[in-house]
Amino acid sequence: MRFTEGYWLRRESVQASYASQAYTVEEIPGGMRVMAPERPITSRADALDLTVLTVDFVSAGHNDISVTVTHFAGLAENEARIPLSLSPDPVKVRVNEKEAIMTAGDMLVRVRRDSWLVSFEAEGRVLTTCGFRNLGYMRVDRQPASYRPDGHYLAADYEPYMSSELSMKPGETIYGFGERFTPFVKNGQSVTMWNEDGGTASDVSYKNIPFYMSSEGYGLFADHTGPISFEVGTEKVEYVGLAVPGEQLRYHLIYGRKPADILRTYTGLTGRPALPPAWSFGLWLSTSFKPLYDEETTGRMIGGMEERDIPTRVFHFDCYWMKALHWCDFEWDGSVFGNVEEMLARYHEKGLKICCWVNPYVAQNTAMFREGLDNGYFLKRKDGRGIRQVDNWQPGLAVIDMTNPGARAWYADKIKGLLAQGVDAIKTDFGERIPVDVAYYDGSDPVSMHNYYPYLYNRLVFETLKEVRGEGEAVLFARSATAGCQQFPVHWGGDCSATYASMAETLRAGLSFAMSGFAFWSHDISGFESTATPDLYKRWFQFGIFSTHSRLHGSDTYRVPWVFDEEACEVARKFSKLKNRLMPYIFRMAAIAHEAGTPVMRPMIFEFPEDVGCRYLDMQYMFGDSLLVAPIFNDRGTASFYLPEGTWKNLLDDSILPGGKWYTRTFDYFHMPVYVRENTLLPVGRHDDVPDYDYASGVILHYYLPTEGGKARAEIPDMTGRSVLFAEAACRNGEVSVVVTGQTGGRPIRFLIHYADGRVEERRV
């Protein structure tokens, strides 16, 4: 939200009260409190008839400073709040006439007393500042107050906003804000936190996360669920501005030497991602949305993948497992499916897991609707005249009230019924179209509940899966999200189109999502809307396999590869098997994500923050800490990619290139830029048919491009993510050594050394 017209002038509809002085400073538990009047107080008379902002600086976690700015403290807003885990650093506060200084961990907050200037510092370096006209209380469309009873007696009528701005340095770049399809670097963008079903080709997002990271080594989390507005070098080009409606603004400023440190603290605050089951990393095959399907069709699709030797681990039933106009009543369409339990049991015997589509809306012409209506389980109209209904998506649609304990238990029982039939995973679609003209069971503010609803919805389904299937077996395929939803993986990128441009915007969104604390992410391979050309299908399949989760799904047509051409089957076979072989490495990266919040798909700036050449890269990424992936975004097979300093070897064709340079290369459909960085110990598994197996048994250790004095380490996990095999390699005086400890499943380990001159040396460990 913008309150100014140019730098000097405010909008005529805005009355602003800016912090102008740190009049008093007092120590409070965990930090300090500053009283900041809108004009300097130099005498007793100055302390009358003015707006004062109360600003609390408190340690919330290691290198995490919580800032709370309050105008009126007595307003009960019933705002939905994201659950936070606080683990503050010890704090020291020093106050003198000139400044107040608070230290906590590696951070320091310095507040100038005579005029308003706050400096956030870390290890002797200024991260960002908030100074002249950067912190304010805004009265928008103010109606004058009156001392007469026929007006606004004593208090004016207006829309209140809290606004803060933090400085940016020359060359500083900003990332994050959730899954956003706009340019990866957010400088120059206005970003509003408001979840909507907008597809992938606009600035509307399914997953708005009020968190951003700066190239200057800090992150900011705005602790609100309502429609926060960010102005990233727009309203004032030297600042990131944020504004929230109401009487209080809350944010956390988090410092880290590396982006991984920032995300470790942020996900410690808002929740670490669960570790998805290993089987979920295999290929998912969907019925797609609109095509007709029945038990014969699904059997034919599954059989076709088997006949062509394309490893498939999950089969997904999309919307039409239920009758048309009956979504979402959890009743299988008996006209096309016979004995559901027997059908799913047969698919399980084939080695498949089963996923089903659901959403939190219920159509009127169903028994489930009548049951929910009778028990008061739906969102109610604000005027008290029954429940809130629309004809959007389904006729007479009602939305389940996730704040009602009875409604939550009822919905969980519906999920449990599916699981009892043999379903293993749930696609939690929608959750964005949540009305604000409603009343909630617990009295929550409906505007803040709009973005918070996906948290309650996805948490309920995830915890139900965990309860029934056990720890480590729960996995969603979710579309909507807010901060904290990273705890309930996996999320997918929504309704993209079958074009290279849409493929690129999908990747941009995934990289922004990764910079926002989400570790596991997927997308509809070859695009959801329309049907891809065979060329695009094969290129997008490559990209999809080098994502944490890989799903074939679309709107109008089936996405089985033989629909496109026979070569697509060969590409699908090769890359699906390759991912299964790479699972010892991928699942260890997943375990690190679970332990520390580090994403598996990492933007280049995340892994190489000191390399300025990586700051704007959004068409390539690191897959874990060792593999660089550059998908191909054109029908010429040409890729332009940047390799950071060091030496890199292509995983697929063994070409070796020096880093610190840009390259342009052309690849056939069986190759692409997937480069292994030097001094990488890459474990490769012995199975290519499934993603879940004993990774330590028969693993092959590839030591890529050892350098003199270089070291490499690999940890091989079991199915719980616990490391059971440890390997260390080193190069000294031209000699390579390796030490392996742990259980190998009784099989010898092959150790392959890939030298920079192209030689490959094999040893047994």
Contact 43, 64 (CB under 8 A): no
Cβ-count burial 684-708 (b if 16+ within 10 Å, e if not): bbbbbebbbbbbbbbbbbbbbbbee
Edge-to-edge strand ranges of the sheet holding 601-602: 601-602, 621-623, 627-629, 674-677, 647-650, 656-658
223 catalytic residue (yes or no): no
Integer Cα distance of 546 and 548 in angstroms = 7
What is the SS3 assignment for 695? coil
495, 524, 678, 688: which is the annotated catalytic residue? 495
- Count the residues in the chain: 765
* List of domains in the chain: 4-77+85-255 (2.60.40.1760), 278-596 (3.20.20.80), 603-673 (2.60.40.1180), 678-765 (2.60.40.1180)
Contact 617, 525 (CB under 8 A): no
216, 429, 445, 505: which is the annotated catalytic residue? 429
Structure confidence at residue 146 (pLDDT): 80
429 catalytic residue (yes or no): yes
Both tokens assigned to 651: 């995983």
Mean pLDDT of the chain: 97
Structure confidence at residue 657 (pLDDT): 98
Integer Cα distance of 678 and 645 in angstroms = 10
Structure confidence at residue 692 (pLDDT): 98
516-525 confidence digits (pLDDT tens): 999 999 999 9
Tokens 């704040």 appear where? 403
Integer Cα distance of 496 and 483 in angstroms = 23
Give the torsion through C-alpha atoms of 613, 614, 616, 622, to 10 deg. Answer: 150
536 Cα distance to chain centroid: 26
Structure confidence at residue 143 (pLDDT): 87
432 catalytic residue (yes or no): yes
What DSSP string runs through 404-455?
A: -HHHHHHHHHHHHHHHHHT--EEEE-------SSEE-TT---HHHHHHHHHH
Angle, vertex CA 637, rays to CA 633 and CA 639, nearest 5: 60
Integer Cα distance of 571 and 31 in angstroms = 58
The one-character DSSP state at 614 is: G
641-669 confidence digits (pLDDT tens): 999 999 999 999 989 999 999 999 999 99
89, 432, 445, 505: which is the annotated catalytic residue? 432
9-10/152-153 β-pairing: unpaired
Both tokens assigned to 10: 């405010």
Both tokens assigned to 235: 């309203």
Give me the residues of the chain with pLDDT under 70, please.
Answer: 153
